Structure 1
Amino acid sequence: MLDDAHAFSSFSVDDVDTAERFYADVLGLDVERTPMGLWLRPGRPGGEGGTPATDVFVYPKGDAHRPASFTVLNLAVDDLEGVVAWLTRRGVTFERYEGIPADDDGIARGGDQGPDIAWFTDPAGNVVALLRR
């Protein structure tokens, strides 16, 4: 019954206007505003070519919003260092987590243990990850 369902993820924010500016203007993602919230459409025109699009819905929760305690969005990119540098110039601060060594740019080098990855938070406090594709 559900094998042909369109699946997508979603997460909440406290302020949809602020989220829209961040995801569209800072991250440069394709964002569609609807009466219920925002559709993030990474991998669409303006994004990296050849990447299948996965829709993500961002919905307002106002004062009831609590930032997720886990990564809500993973963005896989070819040029991790370039994207980290670009976002740093745009005011994004990369997180550092105890027990996970990171270089001066905030990139945790996975080596044999996993991908190279860098984390940051959106204005609502939700964790977003950039990782090498």
Structure 2
Amino acid sequence: MASLTKADVVAFVSSTDLERSRRFFDEVLGLSIVEMTPFACVARGGNATIRITAVERFVPQPFTVLGWTVDDIADTIAELTGLGVRFLRYDGMDQSIDGVWTSPSGAKIAWFPDPDGNVLSLTEFVR
């Protein structure tokens, strides 16, 4: 049986406008763009590859499709908000003014959309 325990992860998100997505993932989120073709924009962040795939039509899912762990969620939110990112609020969830929800484990989580409406997240785990 093949083992993937040491294999790097490739995540996929969809986009109807690759250039707009390239600008967002590069200039706003600060990821390295390693390839740009008419079919996909490939970004690297941490130990993961994100393949932003061109699609003609797209309906965003209402749940998180991609996320990052951060050391300081408040600082990361402030930085991204300064770059024009808006954080999402959800009815029935006790979120701070900045949109942070504290999970039962104590992890702090916030959500934001990419330009196509993919729900992305930040998580600060309890140390």
Q: TM-score w.r.t. structure 2 length? A: 0.86
Q: 2:48 aligns with which of 46, 54, 69?
A: 54
Q: Residue 123 of structure 1: SS of its match in structure 2?
A: coil
**C-alpha distance in structure 2 between counterparts of 1:24 and 1:122, whole Å:** 12
Runs of 4+ aligned residues of structure 1 deviating over 6 Å after TM superposition are none
Displacement of 1:115 in angstroms is 1.7
Which residue of the partner structure matches residue 12 of structure 1? 14
In structure 2, stretches of 5+ residues that fail to align are none
In structure 1, stretches of 5+ residues that fail to align are 44-52
Which residue of the partner structure matches residue 130 of structure 1? 122
Q: TM-score w.r.t. structure 1 length? A: 0.83
Give the CA RMSD over aligned residues.
1.7
Displacement of 1:81 in angstroms is 0.5
Aligned length: 122
Which residue of the partner structure matches residue 65 of structure 1? 58
Q: Residue 91 of structure 2: SS of its match in structure 1?
A: coil
**C-alpha distance in structure 1 between counterparts of 2:60 and 2:16, whole Å:** 9
Query: Structure 2: which amino acid aligns with 1:60?
Result: A
Q: Deviations over 1:86-126 (max 9, x none)?
A: 1111111100011111111111122x345200000000000
Q: Judging changes above 3 Å, is the alpha-carbon distance between structure 1 residues 70 and 2 closer, same or farther for their aligned structure 2 residues?
A: farther
Displacement of 1:9 in angstroms is 2.1
**C-alpha distance in structure 2 between counterparts of 1:56 and 1:109, whole Å:** 27
Q: 2:79 aligns with which of 55, 73, 86?
A: 86
Between Structure 1 and Structure 2, the one with more strand by share is: 2
